[in-house]
Amino acid sequence: MAGVVNIRRDVDDKFYRYRMPVLLTKIEGKGNGIKTVVPNMSDVARALSRPPTYPTKFFGCELGAQTSFDEKNDRYIVNGAHDATKLRELLDGFIDKFVLCKSCKNPETDLIITKNEEIIRDCKACGERTGVDMRHKLTTFIVKNPPKNPKKSKSKKAGGSESPNGSHADGGASPFDGDAGAESDDELTKRIRAEAAELNTEAAIAKEDWSVDTSAEAVKARTKAAESAMANLTMGGEDDSDDDADSPYSQLGRWAQENRDGGPVEVYKKAEELGIAKKHKSVQVLAQSLFDENIVSQITTYAPLYKKMVTSEKHQKSLLGGLERLVGVGYPSLIPSVPKILMAFYQVDILEEEVIKQWGTHVSKKYVDKDTSKRVRKASEPFLKWLDEAEDSDEDGDE
């Protein structure tokens, strides 16, 4: 898939679960001031569960070049002109030395710095702790700029903001998502466990009740929102038998609309409680219920939820269907923002290129009327064009 590759590029399996964005480069300046900018370094580093400064500094060490980073403005720079192919090869070296478990070659590791200032890779997959080569120059930088300690952050409430080093305020949990039926230590699962350890169910319910505005105006507003959600949910659904007011999908839709600020952990708990956390239609319902006109910024908040729930092509299609109804029926003013919405889900590896292209080039009446379907897909054309150009560019680079 153009735009996304296996973290271990020596693995050809297209179903390999550990993926990352293809490293992109941009040459700026000229003469002695020429430099190589890596515009998506944060996205790549997030997939590796490492601060973006680490691979950037690694490039500098390997190339004998100066590096600079402006984390606030998300700019990571290596002095000199370096092509993407060369930096991708160096990234493979960084992954091998500072990400992959030496025992099982799994990338699901955290870096730990011991009291003796040795760097250890702590593998969440096999449990082994293996050291890195402390002779490498990057180790000095890592010791002076240690990764965020996940244990200290677990006491914070889930759903926190993202820190500059790419980890989350919930403890920097791994962004890797596993199969729906498998026991995994992905980001959302860790957050659910952390919350469960801190709060018993009764305390959580009591806290939530006191935080709700119970004024007549607020109750009326929530009732109106719920009715609006129901109107959307019962229009053009996949299975009319699931669309009555008492169905678990309708209950989930109403609850999500009324608790948009609850965070991804609470949403997933509710879906599990209703017994539909693994159902593809739940993804569709939540796309219509959780988001509003601020969807582009909201996707970041709920990305862990969708990584947990979207486990197949069918789930992706349901997500696209829910988004189609959200922008086509609920918020038509969002139609021009369709490319940004697709890009946001694509960059966090929730929607795949093949699925987006199939959806964007085939009008369907499954979720909305045909005219609305055409308008939404027409709006997606700039993003589809970008996917084609990115694929062509990647192929040219490989040649």
Q: What is the pLDDT of residues 130-173, one digit of tens each?
A: 999 999 999 999 999 998 754 443 333 344 434 333 333 333 33
What pLDDT, on a 0 to 100 scale, did the predictor assign at position 391?
61
Cα–Cα dist 35/298, whole Å: 34
Domain 212-398: which topology?
A: 1.25.40
Boundaries of every domain in the chain: 4-147, 212-398
Cα–Cα dist 274/47, whole Å: 31
What pLDDT, on a 0 to 100 scale, did the predictor assign at position 234?
39
What pLDDT, on a 0 to 100 scale, did the predictor assign at position 191?
61
What pLDDT, on a 0 to 100 scale, did the predictor assign at position 53?
95
Cα–Cα dist 298/161, whole Å: 12
What pLDDT, on a 0 to 100 scale, did the predictor assign at position 13?
81
Q: Report the amino acid identity of residue 137.
A: K
Kindly state the average pLDDT of the residues 302-317.
91
For residues 191 and 154, the answer to whether their CB atoms sit within 8 Å is no
Low-confidence winner among 177-186, 237-246, 388-397 (lowest mean pLDDT): 177-186
Domain 4-147 has CATH 3.30.30.170: yes
- Judged against a pLDDT cut of 50, whether residue 190 lies above it is answered with yes
Share of the chain above pLDDT 70, in %: 73
What pLDDT, on a 0 to 100 scale, did the predictor assign at position 207?
40
Give pairs for 294-298: CB < 8 Å, separation 24+.
295/326, 295/331, 295/334, 295/337, 295/341, 296/337, 296/340, 296/341, 296/344
Q: What is the pLDDT of residues 29-88, one digit of tens each?
A: 988 889 999 999 999 999 999 999 999 999 999 999 999 999 888 999 999 999 999 999
